[in-house]
Amino acid sequence: MPPKSKSRRELWLNATVFAVGLFVALIGLLNVLPSYGVLPRFGPFPVAWYRPLIFGAAIVTVTLLHLQARHAADRLTPVETALSLAIAAVGLWVCWDYYLVYTILNDSVMFFSGREATFALVATAVTIILCWASWGYPIALLGVLGFIYLATGEYWPGFLQTAPSDFVETVAQNLWYDADQGILGSIMAIILSTVLPFIILGALLEGVGAGESMIRISFHLMRKLRGGPAFAAITASAMFGTVSGSAVANVVGTGVVTIPMIRRRGFSPAFSGAVEATASTGGQILPPIMGAAALVLADYVGVSYLTVIVASVTPALAYYVSLYLAVYFEARKLGDAIVMTEDDTDIRTQDWINLVLVFAPIAIVVWLLVRGMSPAGASIAAIFALFPLSFINGDIRRKPWRLIGALARGGQTVARLMIAIGVVGIIVSVLSATGIPTKFAVLLNSAFDTSLLFALMIAAGGCIILGMGMPTLPAYIAIIVVMGPTLADLGVQPLTAHLFVLFFGTAAGITPPVAIAAYAAAAISGGKPIATAVASTRIGAMIFIIPFAFVFNPILLGVQAAGAEFTLEAWLWAILRLLPALYLCSSGFGGFDFARLTYAERFLRLASVFLLLTPVLWQQLAGLALGLAVVGGHLLRHRVFTPVRTQTR
């Protein structure tokens, strides 16, 4: 049966989405384009017209993407089409009014009236509605609650009560017409000036076809190992997770290949999905790009991007080592159930050549950062290099327009992120206007001033709750505004506190009950969503432990800004303790080493992890001794050198 031809409406919709996405990408790049040789510098563009223009384009893009998805599912009705287009038109109208008012304001004092308050309310409603349609209810609901609190805070009880204020002035200035706060405030400025080129770079890296080659090579190199496909999935997902910045997008993009191959090796559906979910989630804490969240973190803390990268290397690598160990112990536990197959990984010469398209741009970014160039400039240089380099791929030579398509997809990703950041801007503005973060910090500090550990546990729980259902970057921003002052009052250095929040905001993607990365993986693996989320939490347990480790042992971050004087001896001692902690933690949570572990053995292993990562020397030595004793006793009780039987077909 011949394929169904596309209707004229569908063709128009696809073309418009493509064009608007391409416009967002190009004008965004022009805004941050530095002067390279003979190339002039176009930006930075004036706030008065640039921010409402690109945000208006984002509104149109997200609206059309929603209509496109509904049409593809045969669920689009004329009423929904008319309503969606009306919302987009209203959104463009308020963006136009922002330009008019900002032009009239022209750096002078202006008193807002009911007219401006009405437009601010409309802009808030449009942003929240589109965020709900594009990202789901969690982040949109936070925006709704934030607005309600801004409007009614003076009537709330206890420390939540705010001082009376002029509703018109408060809404107009805090939500819409201020270049420093609200929907188009300073957070949106960071996204447009720093994060945008990295998102475009990530889209191009995916579009030039290197991803498929990396997956095939990873599977080919690890096919002889018992956990081969799982190891390969961790490697490939880590590489692309650091660029993409979205755990869910990475799960969906690479998981369709990796998860079925992991299952064929004999791993359970829940475990197969969990491996992909944890590996994809960790990409956002893995240098050198870290899913672009590190760019915002560097701006907030006031340190260089390179400092953030260096500080993140040891914790991120430790997390991935723990994932490899989790797979290793699971493969040993399954024993004869593991099926050693020759996985269908047909490697071509072109696949090896395509690796240049992954490593060359990343190497350019790192080299230029070391040379002192700004993150935006380094990423744009990598984009310029990637265009000619991409022609080493025969598919690009035959279809060079794929590069333009990748640019358009990058613009669409930026547009969706801008809508989410618009809601985060509402939340942050409300928190700033009401002073809640400071009140929360004082309250928590007074309640737990005798124990930093208890305070950190409360902060970690708050990070996970606030981060549930949200993309990493918006989650990090929303969390740090609340938790940052609390951790600072407890004596945690800013860089360490921000990384603590980033790790736990990232961990929310695999934490039940709203483990969106795990649920996306379950849809591919065929496992139960909650079981996959629980398995993800078990496999990725170190992502919950490592932040506590570097708060109590800042030397692990390896930079002076972390709050500890760096010495090679102290750093090596910290690494020497971290390595056995990874082994003991992975085997303890997995319940298996050379044989099945009893509950007592598991408890002792996890207790030794706790002692190894404390800041007190005698406790560290006790943890090391306990860990060695537990593992040594396990070795003596079991014939560990008996080769494990495998089944081959």
HEC readout, 108-173: CCCCCCHHHHHHHHHHHHHHHHHHHHHHCHHHHHHHHHHHHHHHHHHHCCHHHCCCCCCHHHHHHH
**Rounded distance between C-alpha atoms, residue 498 and residue 563, angstroms:** 13
Token pair listed for 446 = 């007074």
Per-residue pLDDT, 649 = 40
Residue 451: which residues within 8 A CB-CB, separation 6 or more?
none
Phi, psi of 638 (to 5 degrees): -130, 150
Per-residue pLDDT tens digits for 23-82: 999 999 888 887 666 666 776 888 888 999 999 999 999 999 888 888 777 787 888 888
How many angstroms separate the CA atoms of 209 and 232, rounded? 18
The reported pLDDT for the residue numbered 367 is: 84
| pLDDT computed for residue 628 by the predictor | 93
Whole-number Å distance between alpha carbons of 139 and 262: 33
The answer to whether the bond into 164 is cis (omega within 30° of 0) is no
**For residue 211, what are its two tokens?**
């991803």
Distance in angstroms (rounded) separating the CA atoms of residues 102 and 21: 26
3 state SS of 7: coil
Separation of alpha carbons 621 and 454, rounded Å: 23
Three-class SS state of 347: coil
List Cβ neighbours of 344 (8 Å cut-off, separation of 6 or more). Answer: none
CB burial string 261-295: b at 16+ within 10 A, e below: bbbebbbbbbbbbbbbbbbbbbbbbbbbbbbbbbb
Residue 326 has a pLDDT of 92
Alpha-carbon span 330 to 590, nearest angstrom? 7
- The tens digit of pLDDT for each residue in 279-304 reads 988 888 888 777 667 778 888 888 88
Q: How many CA atoms lie within 13 A of 207 on its CB side?
A: 27
Region of residue 553 (phi > 0: left; psi between -120 and 50: alpha; otherwise: beta): beta
- Which parts of the chain have pLDDT scores under 70? 1-6, 35-40, 43, 104-111, 159, 243-246, 291-292, 336-346, 437-438, 440-451, 468-470, 562, 639-649
What are the residue ranges spanned by the domains of the chain? Answer: 207-376+437-589
